[in-house]
Amino acid sequence: SQFIVGLTGGIGSGKTTVANLFAAQGIDIIDADIIAREVVAPSSEGLNEIVNHFGTEVLLDKGGLDRQALREKIFRNPEERQWLNQCLHPKIRQRMIELVKKSSSIYTLLVVPLLFENGLDSLVDRTLVIDITEEQQVNRTAHRDNSSTEIIKNIIKSQMSRDDRLSKADDVISNQGERQQLEQAVIALHRKYLTLSEKS
């Protein structure tokens, strides 16, 4: 069956940037953020279950999910947050498995921000962590999103620590330097993954 590499890293580490370089090598990319939106799309099973549980207050006029309203429902309410996770995680996992089956590249890259936190590393054969300093995470994310450093620091705190993430990685790409340096690192790993895919 398909050889799967799980790509992860903290907020603003460069996951999308690196994934695009693998895509340029002809590798199919599966993006967990896109799947997470798909499973609550208008008239999806996920959205129906959420509305049955939380009420129509979490719906926008157009029939889509009101994320802000949902966030308020689970804010400071661990039981509701757990309910939501238990509703969505199996659907996300199932959809990932479906998309991996459809992938036709020699191996497949699964891009998952919370790969370790959500136990999705159990789906992959190998993990690749994109590593930068926390200071760079704050600077690059603030620059990209025009958001406050305080919010970004809170997101970093809610994610796994840099050391814990690195200790779980099979492979690491440091993105602390210039963007141009990434391509060489990606090509080297791409060769390695081609070899590993042949053996699996």
Q: Site residues (CB under 6 A) for ligand ATP?
A: 9, 11-17, 113, 140-141, 144, 175, 178-179
144 or 191: whose CB is closer to ligand ATP? Answer: 144
User: Is the Cβ of residue 13 or residue 108 nearer to ligand ATP in the bound state?
Assistant: 13
Find the shortest distance in angstroms from Cβ 149 to ligand ATP: 14
Nearer to ligand ATP, 17 or 105 (CB): 17
The residue among 24 and 60 lying less far from ligand ATP, judged by its C-beta, is 24
Minimal distance in Å, beta carbon 100 to ligand ATP? Answer: 20
**Residue closer to ligand ATP (CB basis): 59 or 112:** 112
Return the number of the residue (6 or 9) whose C-beta is nearest ligand ATP.
9
Closest separation in Å from C-beta 194 to ligand ATP: 23
The full DSSP string for the chain is: --EEEEEE-STTSSHHHHHHHHHHTT-EEEEHHHHHHHTTSTT-HHHHHHHHHH-GGGB-TTSSB-HHHHHHHHTT-HHHHHHHHHHHHHHHHHHHHHHHHH--SSEEEEE-TTTTTTTGGGG-SEEEEEE--HHHHHHHHHHHH---HHHHHHHHHHSPPHHHHHHH-SEEEE-SS-TTHHHHHHHHHHHHHHHHHHH-
Retrieve residue 107's tokens.
């191996």
- Contact between 113 and 8 (Cβ < 8 Å): yes
- Min dist CB 165 to ligand ATP, Å, is 12
Cβ 33 to ligand ATP, closest distance in Å? 7
Closest separation in Å from C-beta 20 to ligand ATP: 8
Taking alpha carbons only, the member of 173, 168, 171, 179 closest to residue 195 is 171
Q: How many residues does the chain have?
A: 200
